[in-house]
Amino acid sequence: MALSRRDFLKASAAAAALAAATGGRLGATDVHAAEGGIRWGKAPCRFCGTGCGVLVGVKDGRIVATKGDPAAPVNKGLNCIKGYFLSKVLYGKDRLTKPLIRKGNKMVEASWDEAMDLIASKFRESIAKHGPDSVAMFGSGQWTVFEGYAAAKLFKAGIGTNNIEPNARFCMASAVTGFMTTFNSDEPMGCYDDLDLGDTYFLWGANMAECHPVLFSRLIDNRLKNPKVKIIDFGTRFTRTSQMADKYIRFNPQTDLALLNAIAHIIVRDRLYDENFIRKHVVFKKGKTNIGYGLEDKFKFADDPKPMTFDEYREFLKPYTPEYVSKLSGVPAKTIEEVARLYADKSRKVNSLWTMGFNQHVRGTWVNNLVYNVHLLTGKICKPGENPMSLTGQPSACGTAREVGTFTHRLPADMVVMNEEHRKKAAEIWGVPAEKIPAKPTYHATEMFRALDRGDIKVLWVQVTNPFQSAPNLSRYRKGARKGGDRFIIVSDIYPTRSTELADVVLPSASWVEKEGFFGNAERRGQQWFKMVEPPGEARNDLWQTMELARRLGHGNLFPYKYVEKEMFEEYRKFTLGQGKDLAPYEAYTKARGLRWPVVNGKETLWRYTEGYDPYVKAGEGVKFYKNKPNDYKAVIWARPYEPAAEAPDRQYPFWLCTGRVLEQWHTGTMTGRVPELKRAYGGAVCEIHPEDAKRLKVKHGDKVRVTSRRGSIVLTADLRGRGKAEKGNVFVAFFDENKMINELCIDAYCPISGEPDYKKCAVKLEKA
């Protein structure tokens, strides 16, 4: 071999080895990162509602590392792959660092003063001309408690409008109305410990393996330890959860209503219920039927609950025979019988877990009611290891949206604006006259975007979320936002998104540990963190942004705090004390790895309504649904019938379309999409099709298919080999991809009671593209 060639090879070898050792970046400076000098602080993960604890490593003003917090009870040092890359989500190249103001088709950099002056003038102008209900705030379950609280206080007690909504309306509003109608208090009785303590788990419309990864790993561990454990997955699509479940039961979309009634039918028919529990703790009710789908603008619905007897309920259940429901649902009658017996088996500790399959449902409130029915009939509720559990998808859907009450109709701690007593109490704590808080709810999320489209809402401020990618029937609302006239849209975010592109003003926000924060997870656990790094450029906290608008609108007196976060929290805490929703003093959260409310005398509550665990239940009471005063402290079993979906497949649009998440990407992908490793792991949305359907359409794996609904059309890559297997006649598309916005196809039909849209069911056709 020639000497020069040999030298070259040696040099290449050395260079390649060097590259491998330094991660491909010659001159890598992070070689020294491991050498120490890192300061660690605690925070909950920024993504889903699980609420894993992480330790954040900061050096030279930058997050250089994160790791699962071994002291965090939820995850004990583990994370999913999104949590693993937390250190990168804030450092995308295109972070917004300066306020931007629209000048024609261009966004021009501006100072904070210019931007806030402009926003304040638009608010003032609109309120003067069109009244306070012409301005609105759309936030999210990613708001910290402080941000949500400040926004709610400013809008309800300052501006004097109930025009405030979170994207949580798109996500778990049906869970809220489910809890409220059955128990008259939001949020679960159980906690994650039930994942370790139970032995029978029914999953309904929940792909836990991908959407609650760390909780799923906890559930599976329970089964590894205890051979008795059974996991039964009810779904309309075969997922990674189905793969690991003991049994996968596929059912036709929307028939979960009928299935749950059939399970109740069998339990009642064969007297498998817990008579004692029913007598002591349950009342029966029915509401209106044939309640509509909210497809027309300004749709209004008010239920009219009527009491009924157990016998009348028994009559109501009569038609839901296993045979009838089998035909409807596609689940064999024998399987329905087996499932009912498992639910009722006295030797089993039964849990139900659900997510968006239930909540994003035109009868979302009903289906939540129906799963509680089964637990109430069998008395399998409010016991360690035996509970129905609604899982959430955003880090503070519970802590902020639900508990602070950033919905149009809500006030903190389960209170509502329609109730005079509640308004009085809120006004007192907020230091405003009671008349200030309007008694009528205005628009829930979908109606809010309809109002913007019609022009009834003129000024809309969007914080910490991306509705112009996540709303259903997206095209209508995207067009509506740019119709001009008096419309003025402000979007606060950390990256350019499909919502910032429609904004008149874009405000650069601080995120996660760039500010002090507080999230509440799905098991009632409140978790606090301190600010650890400065936000980039001129980016600022959304909390500051809201208070700055308040100051400019003359409502600065609503926020008279020095240590804003702490004093605001202590004020908010007053709402919770004595209500069974008690939060601990702020101090306590700065030290603990989260505490589950009610926290009374420094002690957290694992199981609500349960003697020995919940301090509100007296000795000898056993179980007491003490929040349900209107129903004599009993829970409600609701007679809710099966009613069809808003739109079902027909000859023209023969497929069901379902949307959802994948493990690697979160929500609309604005954060996870900035992590190259996650992008490489799952880069773009694909369309899952059943192989037989594909064959009929002459579509092969990897081919392009056009998916079309009555509202939109999109070209996607067909996926016949993927992690999720579509059932025949169904397709599935993830909604994170900003370049393939599947929500344009989704129908904006919603549950009339909760106002939550059905992202899981609409009719589409497929063509080879």
Partner 1 sequence: MPISGVVIKCQMERLGELERELHRPGSVEISNVLGDGSLIAVIESASLEEEISLVKNIMAVQGVLDVRVAYHNFEDQLMAE
Partner 2 sequence: MSGAEEETKRVSRRHFLKGSLALPLALTVAGGLLTVPSLRRADARGFYLRPPGALAEKCFLGACIRCGKCVQACPYRAIRLAETDAGVAIGTPFIIAREEPCQLCTDLPCIKSCPSGALDKGVTEVEKVRMGTAVIIDRENCLSIRGLRCEVCYRNCPLIDRAITIEPRHNPRTGVHTIMEPVVHRDKCVGCGICEKSCVREQPVIVVQRTPLPQQDAYEF
Catalytic residue chosen out of the listed positions 57, 139, 178, 393: 393
CB of 72 to partner 2, least distance (A): 10
Cα dist from 7 to 2, 14, 19, whole Å: 9, 10, 18
Could you say which of 33, 38, 65, 220 contacts partner 2 (CB under 8 A)?
220
Rule CB under 8 A: choose which of 109, 113, 117, 221 binds partner 2.
221
Place of tokens 């968006």: 356
Residues whose CB falls within 8 Å of the CB of residue 303, separated by 6 or more in sequence, listed in order: 181, 287, 288, 291, 753
State the binding partner of 302 from partner 1, partner 2, none, CB within 5 to 8 A by kind: none
Instruction: Name the binder of 1 from partner 1, partner 2, none, CB < 5-8 A by kind.
Output: partner 1
Residue 684 Cβ vs partner 2, minimum distance, rounded to whole Å: 13
Residue number, 28 or 577, with CB nearest to partner 1: 28
Q: How many chain residues touch partner 1 (CB under 8 A)?
A: 19
Q: How far is the CB of 33 from partner 1 (least distance, A)?
A: 9
Q: Closer to partner 2 at the Cβ: 196 or 337? A: 196
- CA–CA dist 529, 538 (Å, integer): 22
Q: Three-state DSSP class for 47?
A: coil
Site string for partner 2, 15-34 (x = CB under 8 A): xxxxxx-xxx-xxxx-x---
Classify residue 434 by its DSSP letter: G
Instruction: Specify the DSSP element, H or E, that contains 657.
Output: strand 655-660
Amino acid at residue number 70: P
Active site residue 755: no
The reply on whether position 335 binds partner 2 by CB under 8 A is no
Nearest-angstrom CA–CA distance, 67 and 53: 9
Residue 130: CB partners within 8 Å, gap ≥ 6? 458, 486
Q: Which of residues 10-69 bind partner 1 (CB under 8 A)?
A: 10, 12-22, 31-32, 34-35
Q: Please confirm, yes or no, whether 82 is among the known catalytic residues.
A: yes
The one among 10, 228, 318, 591 contacting partner 2 by CB under 8 A = 10
Who's near 743: CB < 8 A, 6+ residues apart? 469, 470, 471, 472, 473, 474, 659, 735, 759
Q: Taking contact as CB under 8 A, which single stretch among the options 7-15, 264-272, 523-531, 623-631 is the one that binds partner 1?
A: 7-15
To the nearest 10°, report the CA torsion of 106, 109, 112, 114. Answer: -60
What string marks each residue from 243 to 262 as x (binds partner 2 by CB under 8 A) or -? Answer: xx------------------
Among residues 360, 247, 239, the alpha carbon closest in space to that of 727 is found at 239
Residue 318 as a binder of partner 2 (CB under 8 A): the answer is: no
If we measure between CA atoms, which residue out of 542, 523, 481 comes closest to residue 351? 523
Catalytic residue among 191, 356, 448, 568: 356
Question: Cβ distance 68 to 75 under 8 Å?
Answer: yes
- Is 393 marked active-site? yes
Stretch touching partner 2 by CB under 8 A, among 9-17, 147-155, 415-423, 465-473: 9-17
Contact 370, 259 (CB under 8 A): no
C-alpha distances in Å from residue 147, one per residue of 83, 152, 285 = 23, 9, 38
Q: Which of 42, 45, 52, 82 is catalytic?
A: 82
Q: Which stretch binds partner 2 (CB under 8 A): 211-219, 245-253, 269-277, 591-599?
A: 211-219
Cα-based distances in Å from 574 to 197, 431, 583, 667: 34, 13, 9, 33
4 binds, among partner 2, partner 1, none (CB under 5 to 8 A by kind): partner 2
CB of 704 to partner 2, least distance (A): 11
Tell which one of 153, 156, 218, 525 touches partner 2 (CB under 8 A). 218
Helix (H, G, I), strand (E, B) or coil at 472: coil
Assess whether 356 carries a catalytic annotation. yes
Site string for partner 2, 29-58 (x = CB under 8 A): x-x---------------------------
Binding mask 547-576 for partner 2 (x = CB under 8 A): ------------------------------
Residue 430 contacts which entry, partner 2, partner 1, none (Cβ below 5-8 A, type-dependent): none
CA distance 92 to 295: 39
224 binds, among partner 1, partner 2, none (CB under 5 to 8 A by kind): partner 2
**Residue 715 touching partner 1 (CB under 8 A):** no
Out of 677, 696, 715, 768, the residue judged to bind partner 2 by CB under 8 A: 677
Distance, in Å, from the CA atom of 245 to the CA atom of 456, rounded to the nearest integer, reads 48
**Binding positions for partner 2, 709-738, rule CB under 8 A:** 721-723
Long-range contacts of 737-740 (CB under 8 A, 24+ apart): 737/665, 737/669, 737/684, 737/685, 738/469, 738/497, 738/498, 738/668, 738/669, 738/670, 738/673, 739/684, 740/684, 740/685, 740/714, 740/716
- Total Cβ atoms within 10 A of residue 677: 12
SS (H, E, C) 177-221: HHHHHHHCCCCCCCCCHHHHHCCEEEEECCCHHHHCHHHHHHHHH
CB of 176 to partner 2, least distance (A): 28
Q: Residue 1 catalytic?
A: no
34 binds, among partner 2, partner 1, none (CB under 5 to 8 A by kind): partner 1
Name the residues annotated as catalytic.
82, 171-172, 356, 393-394
- Interface with partner 2 (CB under 8 A): 4-5, 7-12, 14-20, 22-24, 26-29, 31, 68, 75-81, 83-85, 196, 213-214, 216-218, 220-222, 224-225, 240, 243-244, 663-664, 677-678, 680-682, 700-702, 721-723
